[in-house]
Copies of this chain bind each other. A is one copy, B any other.
Amino acid sequence: MKTVTIIGSGNVAYHLYKAFSLAENILIQQVVARNKSALETFVSPDKLCTNFEEVVDSDFIIIAVSDNAVEKIAGLLKNFKGIIVHTSGATSLGVLNKHENHGVFYPLQTFSKSREVVFQDIPICIEANTKHNHLELNELACTISGNVQRVNSSQRRQLHMAAVFANNFSNHLFYLGGKICAENQLSFSILKPLIKETVDKLEVLSPYEAQTGPAKRNDQNTLEAHLSILESDLHKDIYTLLSQSLQETYGKKL
């Protein structure tokens, strides 16, 4: 049996709490955050802690707070023997190096509290300060995921940025597509089969092979027609730059 302390009350803390609660041979000892009402929505009362002076040592102390608070929170944990990890894609391993045992436990996923996720497929990117701690973290990650990968700090920073392109920005494009629909008395649901196929295609084709559309085929008439009906200058600029990037990718000139 391994023990875990989770620090944080946000989306990642919530989903890790859910996942480790169901994992075999894992005991969550505490979930710690200053925001009691946020903790109360998901943590059982006996594990809830709002006082950082009362944080207990565990085999693993998982700091799942916003990136800019990681170092400060870690600084509150004096003389802990457990492996102290953060869950941030954008933060290096080094911010924890005042601690004897430390590492990174970065689940590569988009988390919202209102949406349950299945951890089994989620890549958990781990990094540790010693080989022994790496093995320990690997074992911990394997209790909730079948997709554990060793990723160093430099790779993880790049991977986090890749995830911003692949998830944050693509979701925003779905939003912009839906906005255009709504402004024209069409339901967002009309785009859903297209969006679903966009992703389903990636089971058999690379994004390079799956690409279709006017920019790829260098259809200037359609590109100009779209730019003429887009109302927002910002959206025009986004349309132009993404079309330009597509044309570069497929060796076409604007």
CB-CB under 8 A from A230, the residues of chain B are: 161
Whether the pair A221, B168 counts as a contact (CB closer than 8 A) is no
Beta-carbon nearest neighbor of A159 in chain B: B186
Q: Is the interface of A mostly helix, strand, loop or mixed?
A: helix
Residues of A that sit less than 8 Å from B by CB = 11, 66-68, 90, 108-112, 114-115, 117, 121-123, 125, 147, 149, 151, 154-155, 157-178, 180-181, 183-186, 188, 190-199, 201-202, 204-217, 219, 221-222, 225-226, 229-230, 234-235, 237-239, 241-242, 244-246, 248-249
> Does the CB pair B206–A188 fall under 8 Å?
yes
Question: Beyond the given A114-B204, A164-B226, could you list 11 further A-B residue pairs with CB under 8 A, ordered by the A residue number?
Answer: A67-B221, A110-B201, A112-B201, A149-B190, A157-B225, A158-B183, A161-B229, A164-B239, A165-B239, A175-B206, A188-B206
Q: In the complex, which residues of chain B have a beta carbon less than 8 angstroms from the beta carbon of A121?
A: 193
Q: How far is the CB of A195 from chain B (nearest CB, A)?
A: 5
Q: Is the CB of A180 within 8 A of B167?
A: no
Q: Can you spell out 24 A-B residue pairs with CB atoms less than 8 angstroms apart?
A: A67-B219, A67-B221, A108-B194, A109-B197, A112-B212, A114-B209, A121-B193, A125-B190, A159-B181, A161-B226, A162-B178, A162-B186, A164-B213, A164-B214, A164-B215, A166-B177, A166-B194, A166-B195, A167-B195, A170-B198, A171-B198, A171-B201, A198-B199, A234-B244
**Docked-complex contact B207 and A175, CB < 8 angstroms:** yes
Find the B residue at minimum CB distance from A168. B213
Contacts of A219 in B (CB 8 A): 66-68
